[in-house]
A = this chain, B = another copy of it.
Amino acid sequence: MKSIGVLMTIPMPSNLAEKLATRFTLFKLWNYPSIESFSETHADSVHTIRAFVCDAKSAADAKSIDALPNLEIVSTNSVGFDKIDIEKCRERGIRVTNTPDVLTDDVADFAIGLALAVFRKIPNSDGFLKNGLWKHSDYPLTTKFSGKEVGIVGLGRIGSAIAKRAAAFGCPISYHSRSQKPEAGSYKYYPNILDLAANSQVLVVACALNEQTRHIVNRGVIDALGPKGVIVNIGRGPIIDEPELVSALVEGRLGGAGLDVFENEPNVPEELFSLENVVLTPHVGSDTEETCKDMADLVIANLVAHFSGNPLLTPIL
> Chain A residues in contact with chain B, CB under 8 A?
13-14, 105-106, 108-110, 112-114, 116-117, 119-120, 122-123, 125-130, 134-135, 138-139, 141-147, 164-165, 167-170, 265-268, 273, 279-282, 284, 287-292
Interchain CA distance A265-B281 in the complex, whole Å: 30
A273 contact from B130, B139, B170, B267, Cβ within 8 A: B130
A126-B289 contact given A144-B109, A267-B135, CB 8 Å threshold: no
Copies of this chain, whole number: 2
State whether A146 touches B105 (Cβ < 8 A): yes
CA gap between A265 and B135 in the complex, in Å: 9
Return the chain B residue nearest A135 by Cβ. Answer: B266
Q: Are B122 and A122 in contact (CB under 8 A)?
A: yes
Question: A105 CA to B120 CA in the complex, in Å?
Answer: 12
Asked if A122 and B281 make an inter-chain contact with CB atoms under 8 angstroms apart, the answer reads: yes
Q: Is the CB of B280 within 8 A of A144?
A: no
Contacts of A265 in B (CB 8 A): 134
Q: Which residue of B lies closest to A287 (CB)?
A: B141
CB distance from A259 to the nearest CB of B (A): 9
The reply to whether B109 and A116 form a contact with Cβ atoms under 8 Å apart is yes
Contacts A14-B141, A143-B290 given: A122-B117 contact, CB under 8 Å? Answer: yes
On chain B, the residues within 8 Å of A110 by CB distance are 116, 120
- Provide the residues of chain B in CB contact with A147, threshold 8 Å: 105
Chain B residues with CB below 8 A from A108, complex form = 146
Report Cα–Cα, A126/B279, bound state, in Å. 6
Please state if B125 and A281 are interface contacts (CB–CB under 8 Å).
Answer: yes
* A221 → chain B closest CB, angstroms: 24
A102 to chain B, nearest CB (A): 11
A166 to chain B, nearest CB (A): 8
A281 touches B126 (CB 8 A): yes
Going nearest first, the 10 A-B pairs with the smallest beta carbon separation are A113-B116, A168-B168, A123-B123, A105-B146, A134-B266, A144-B290, A144-B288, A134-B282, A130-B273, A125-B281
User: Could you say which of A122, A127, A146 has the most chain B C-beta atoms within 10 Å of its C-beta?
Assistant: A122
Q: In the complex, which of the residues B114, B144, B169, B288 contacts A142, with contact meaning CB atoms closer than 8 Å?
A: B288
Tell me the minimal C-beta distance from A299 to chain B in angstroms: 16
Q: How far is the CA of A209 from the CA of B291 in the complex (A)?
A: 38
Partner of A170, one of B13, B105, B116, B289: B105
Of B14, B112, B138, B168, the contact of A116 (CB 8 Å cutoff) = B112
For A164, give the chain B residue with the smallest CB separation.
B168
The residues of B that contact A106 with a CB separation of less than 8 Å are 144, 146
Shortest beta-carbon distance from A3 to chain B in Å = 32
- Known contacts A106-B144, A122-B122, A129-B280; can you find 8 more A-B pairs with CB under 8 A? A109-B169, A112-B116, A129-B281, A130-B280, A135-B266, A139-B281, A142-B288, A143-B290
